[in-house]
Amino acid sequence: MSSFIEDRYPAWYHNAKADPRVTIELGGEKFAATADVLTGERYDEFAAWALAENSLLAEYQAKVDKPLPLVVLIRAEPE
């Protein structure tokens, strides 16, 4: 999620682009995943859905010139 304050993309977005291997911590669970930075048609489709479903995102996007950073996290299979 963007901070909704800064006028640049957050560090996590640049990190995900540079190295898509990420670790997710959710509650007490921790697991490996791959960050898929959305572009092109996939970005357009997901952004349309996200903005339609989340009024906060839509309001923010209307106020800024740059597109929202959108990343899908794909959980790795347990070893």
Q: Region 18-23: what's the mean pLDDT?
A: 96
Give the C-alpha separation, 72 to 5, whole Å. 22
Four-point Cα dihedral 14, 18, 23, 26, nearest 10? 30
Residue 73, SS3 per DSSP? strand
Residue pair 23/12 in contact (Cβ under 8 Å)? The answer is: no
Is residue 66 pLDDT above 80, yes or no?
yes
The whole-chain average pLDDT of the chain stands at: 89
Residue pair 43/67 in contact (Cβ under 8 Å)? The answer is: yes
pTM of the model: 0.77
pLDDT of 25: 94
pLDDT of 5: 58
